Copies of this chain bind each other. A is one copy, B any other.
Amino acid sequence: MTNPNPDAKLKIIPLGGLHEIGKNTCVFEINDEIILLDAGLAFPTDGMHGVNIVLPDVTYLRDNRHKIKGMIVTHGHEDHIGGIAYHLKQFDIPVIYGPRLAMALLEGKLEEAGVSDRTELRPVRPRDMVRLGKSFVVEYIRNTHSIADSCSVAIHTPLGVVIHTGDFKFDHTPVDGEHFDVQKLAEYGEKGVLCLISDSTNSEVPGHTPSERSVFPNLDRVFSQADGRLLVTTFSSSVHRVNMILELAKKHHRMVFVVGRSMLNVIAHARELGYIKCEEDRFQPLRNLSQYSDRDVMILMTGSQGEPMAALTRIANGSHREIKIREGDTVVFSANPIPGNTISVVNNIDKLMMKGAKVVYGKHQGIHVSGHGAQEDQKLMLALTRPKFFLPVHGEHRMLVKHSQTAQSMGVPAENMVIINNGDVVELTQNSIGIGGKVPSGIELVDSSRQGVVDRETLRDRQQLAEDGIITVAAIVSQRGKLVTPPTVDIRGISQTLDLERFQNKVSDLIGRVLRERTNKKGIERDGIQPAIESELRRLIRKELPKRYPVTVLLLNWVETAENNAPVPALTAS
């Protein structure tokens, strides 16, 4: 394809996905040409109050937009395609290639965001080869993962071939019959792979990740034991799992009611492309639920991670309008909680049980397997591709470290791999790999209203408000430096029962004193007043209450004239 050039240098610049699980976004740059591999979103962590979505800082792409030749997408998970619509509001991407299911899901997102016209989506099939710019030719390689139609990619560059695994496991009995193209991987390994960039999610887990199919007999057993209605939850994007659940629904003669926007969306697209096979007459809309006896009902829904607004959470709370849990119901969790979600999930399990449902959950049941390969699967990937250089990605620090140790145990020398961070510029040549610099990197927090970006200062404010509460003091001060009325005090979020009247008197005295100190014949020294009063107030609050509380001081000046021509008080934001 492209003639190998021994002096060429490829830059690999992750903007998201390193030292974290989420918002995978990777830039490949050579000869003033850029391609982007995936652009996902991440979910907020503790302390990110009021934040819905976390995106990577893409300043680098904005600043280099003229170099962007296109994008390659590996599969349709949110942490790989969830950011694209937001980025397209900032810069164009001429063309986006990706597997058909991923492109179908992406198309919906772009339409919803009104940015469809900013790019061209081109669905590809495994073993398709696409050219981007002059420097990049990419071959799509079928792999296996929890979502259907997932690929690894072989990126041909002037230096040689870089293989990016995407997200993968080795599932030798895939539910949809589309096997991992190990022949193609082996072929690349034989010809020579310069660098392997590989999924580190399950680096800490010894052994192999079992096949999706291993879940089938256990789910079958659980379904057999259900006397009443079945309510099943799993990840909406786990197309293979959903396929098996639908197959079992048919086997057990149960009509299928799908609940939850993302579940409906993924099933629709997957059926269209043939990844989910289920006759139309097996599905019923929720409004027909009462027409069926309990033994003939299976409800498939979102909420396996305890997400606050998802169907199962609302059912557990009793706030779902159409579905109320009753004795005889069996709820099946075909998913394990992701760290951070455990408490939300077990709270739902408890509530469902308290409402009388039998709940089937937990690792011992054998009704869930991971979509990511464990240590032996990672070794197989290394064995097939036999890369010269190695970059672990898609993982937190300890996962990247463990993955590196695994690669070293396979014979890749320590100096041929790097543990990288978002923003690092990895420079790859035919003979070396190393970090050559940094680009701007970081996060953008998208507000719960999905319209605003939450800046760090706002987030800090919110964290402080959550922790401490707030005291607001407003006072009218005449131009001659006198407190015109006693100050008004508003207290919010503070647990001490404060003697309000006594506190107000102290605040009066305090303000009066500061005013006297800062008033001369000409009038009040306006500039120093506000900060002086605030600082005295904080001191008073520290005395009256054991903790430091954020204090807002609103000082309204009043000019004593007959016509009430008062100067405009400054807008304060302290």
Contacts and interface: CB of A to CB of B under 8 A. Distances in A.
B45 A343 contact: yes
A406 interface: no
A484 B568 CA distance: 10
Contacts of A467: 49-50, 448, 462
- Identical chains in the assembly: 2
Contact of A566 (B445, B485, B569): B485
A346 B339 contact: yes
Contacts of A488: 474, 554, 556, 569-572
Contact of A495 (B46, B204, B447, B492): B447
19 contacts: A49-B467, A50-B469, A204-B362, A339-B346, A340-B342, A354-B397, A448-B467, A449-B545, A449-B546, A453-B495, A470-B492, A485-B567, A486-B569, A488-B570, A488-B571, A490-B554, A490-B572, A492-B573, A554-B554
Contacts of A550: 492
A349 interface: yes
Interface string A481-499: 0101110111111111100
Contacts of A343: 45-46, 339-340
B485 A557 contact: yes
Given A350-B19, A486-B568, A448 B339 contact: no
A564 B479 CA distance: 13
A474 B556 contact: yes
A424 to B, nearest CB: 14
A441 interface: no
Contacts of A359: 398
A397 B353 contact: yes
A221 interface: no
Contacts of A474: 474, 488, 554, 556
A572 to B, nearest CB: 5
A224 interface: no
Q: Closest 5 interchain pairs by CB?
A: A466-B466, A465-B465, A350-B397, A449-B546, A461-B493
Given A398-B353, A461-B469, A556 B485 contact: yes
B573 A490 contact: yes
A46 B46 contact: yes
Given A401-B353, A569-B488, A495 B458 contact: yes
A493 B397 contact: no
Contact of A489 (B448, B465, B500, B571): B571
A476 interface: yes
A437 to B, nearest CB: 20
Given A353-B398, A470-B470, 10 more contacts: A49-B466, A346-B396, A349-B397, A448-B547, A449-B546, A452-B495, A461-B493, A462-B467, A472-B552, A482-B564
B448 A396 contact: no
Contacts of A468: 50
Contact of A462 (B206, B364, B398, B466): B466
A315 interface: no
